[in-house]
């Protein structure tokens, strides 16, 4: 009798533990959402990312279906409830329970409370950082071990500066762990190795300046869709309470995701753009851009870049120009009559309509001097190299890195052009 009671006690205690168990869990059907959040930077997003985690938890609590969320959180050193980088795991049963207990609410619904209810794995990085490829691969492997799934969606939350290299000057590419980041080609390689079966339905960048053709092209062999903003993203981030139900649905309504993001920013008197790239179409877009650049290359030196919608601000001004608006300007300088211009750029427009499947923007934000012309907003931007753009001719670091490391440079035909 005592032996039976002892065995029962062991089982109960094991069931009550909030540490990640060693045994292999059952495979989940549908999609599991993963988040990789990095806040350890001088310009910290700590409070904002903590609020994002609470909003994700709240959305799970209101879900009518069982689903799983895994969050890797790299806290700001000495500023967070969490002492070390930690993987937080949450399962909801669709009936208001998370990890087997009623979901937190009211005054208990805090970041600290959410962390206490999670199953956790802690990481000791030593001399490494959260943007180190080895660390990222380890975390993604742990996520998939903890929650085997038919497919995944992945959220990245941190600072970012698009395709721009971040190690030789003050830029971030993606992530900022005390000044260390990961460049986009390296990030794509990490994801290829971590998800070799291309099980990522989407990558959502809750980070600045990632909605560019260069980023979408790097990710074309990694994920089906990329959700991002071509501009700086307000620190509040995405409205997870509003969009989480879409991210778990079998067929994601990407237009609704963009709309919720823009509506949220409007309510909070912020700015914003949001677009969704179908990464399977990025090769076709590169081919269309390459063909049109080749056809109109003699007019490149005549393009007035100040007439093209650009999306950078401050030190990142001119890092990205609207793809379609650039070809409108280029076509106008190539001798195409204005009445025929739309037909002349139809090849770009058609492929863009397939590559950018959802987009929305705030054209005149009240608290920003930066204006987006909605009529000229195609959703995504691209860099115009210094040979053809006097505004970035002196950006030698940008231009050399772009030519040497960014796949879009060759795929889109820039490398094949001959200066007049």
CA 30, distance to chain mean position in Å, is 21
Torsion-angle region of 198 (φ positive above 0: left; ψ -120 to 50: alpha; else: beta): left
Confidence at residue 15, expressed as pLDDT on a 0 to 100 scale = 42
| CA distance linking residue 151 with residue 28, whole number of Å | 9
Tokens 């820039």 map to which residue? 414
Q: Are strands 273-278 and 200-206 parallel, antiparallel or unpaired?
A: unpaired
DSSP letter string, 33-86: EEEEEE--SSS--HHHHHHHHHHHHHHHHT-SS-EEEEEEEEPPTTTSS-SS-E
Give the residue among 376, 369, 397 at the shortest CA–CA distance from 385.
397
pLDDT tens digits, the chain, 420 residues: what are they? 444 444 443 333 344 456 665 545 555 557 999 999 998 777 788 899 999 999 999 999 999 999 999 999 999 876 667 889 999 999 999 999 999 999 999 999 999 999 999 999 999 988 889 999 999 999 999 999 999 999 999 999 998 889 987 654 445 577 777 778 899 999 999 999 999 988 999 999 999 999 999 999 999 999 999 999 999 999 999 999 999 999 999 999 999 999 999 999 999 999 999 999 999 999 999 999 999 999 999 999 999 999 999 998 888 899 999 999 999 999 999 988 888 888 999 999 999 999 999 999 999 766 666 788 999 999 999 999 999 999 999 999 999 999 999 999 999 999 999 765
Q: Where are the domains of the chain?
A: 28-207+235-270, 283-354+378-416
How far apart, in whole angstroms, are the C-alpha atoms of residue 174 and residue 125?
Answer: 19
Angle at 29 between CA 23 and CA 31, to 5 degrees: 105
pLDDT of residue 41: 77
Q: Report strand pairing: 149-157 vs 200-206.
A: parallel
DSSP-assigned beta bridge partners for residue 153: 33, 202
- Name the phi and psi angles at 326, rounded to 5: -60, -45
| Dist CA 237 CA 270 (whole Å) | 11
So what's the pLDDT on residue 304? 93
CA distance 347 to 386: 25
Of 204, 146, 210, 211, whose CA–CA distance to 182 is shortest?
A: 210
Contact 25, 147 (CB under 8 A): yes
Characterise 154 by phi-psi region: left (phi > 0), alpha (psi -120 to 50), beta (else).
beta
Radius of gyration of the chain (CA): 23
Looking at residue 3, its pLDDT comes to 44
């Amino acid at each position: 009798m005592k032996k039976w009671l002892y065995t029962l006690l062991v089982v109960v205690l094991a069931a009550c533990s909030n540490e990640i168990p060693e045994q292999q869990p059952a495979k989940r059907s549908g999609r599991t959402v993963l988040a990789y959040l990095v806040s350890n930077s001088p310009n910290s997003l700590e409070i904002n990312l903590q609020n994002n985690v609470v909003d994700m938890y709240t959305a799970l609590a209101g879900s009518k279906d069982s689903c799983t969320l895994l969050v890797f959180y790299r806290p700001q050193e000495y500023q967070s409830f969490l002492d070390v980088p930690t993987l937080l795991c949450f399962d909801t049963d669709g009936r208001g329970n998370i990890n087997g207990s009623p979901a937190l609410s009211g005054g208990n619904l805090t970041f600290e409370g959410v962390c206490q209810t999670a199953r956790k794995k802690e990481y000791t990085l030593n001399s490494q950082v959260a943007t180190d490829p080895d660390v990222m691969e380890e975390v993604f492997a742990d996520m998939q071990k903890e929650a085997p799934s038919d497919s995944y969606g992945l959220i990245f939350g941190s600072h970012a500066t698009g395709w721009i290299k971040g190690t030789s000057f003050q830029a971030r590419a993606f992530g900022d762990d005390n000044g260390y980041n990961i460049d986009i080609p390296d990030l794509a390689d990490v994801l290829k190795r971590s998800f070799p079966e291309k099980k990522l339905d989407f990558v959502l960048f809750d980070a600045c300046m990632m909605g560019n053709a260069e980023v979408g092209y790097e990710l074309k062999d990694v994920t089906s869709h990329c959700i991002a903003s071509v501009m700086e993203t307000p620190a509040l981030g995405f409205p997870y309470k509003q969009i989480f139900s879409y991210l778990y649905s079998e067929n994601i309504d990407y237009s609704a995701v963009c709309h919720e993001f823009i509506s949220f920013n409007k309510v909070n008197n912020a700015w914003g753009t949001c677009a969704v790239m179908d990464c399977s179409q990025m090769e076709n877009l590169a081919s269309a851009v390459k063909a049109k650049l080749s056809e109109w290359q003699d007019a490149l030196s005549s393009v007035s870049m100040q007439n093209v919608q650009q999306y950078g601000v401050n030190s990142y001004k001119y890092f990205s120009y609207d793809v379609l608006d650039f070809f409108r300007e280029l076509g106008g300088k190539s001798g195409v009559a204005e009445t025929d211009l739309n037909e002349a750029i139809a090849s770009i427009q058609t492929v863009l309509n397939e590559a950018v499947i959802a987009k929305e923007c705030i054209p005149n934000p009240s608290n920003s001097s930066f204006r987006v012309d909605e009529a000229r907003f195609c959703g995504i931007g691209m860099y115009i190299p210094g040979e053809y753009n006097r505004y970035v001719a002196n950006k030698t670091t940008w231009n050399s890195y772009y030519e040497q490391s960014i796949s879009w440079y060759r795929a889109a035909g820039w490398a094949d052009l001959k200066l007049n």
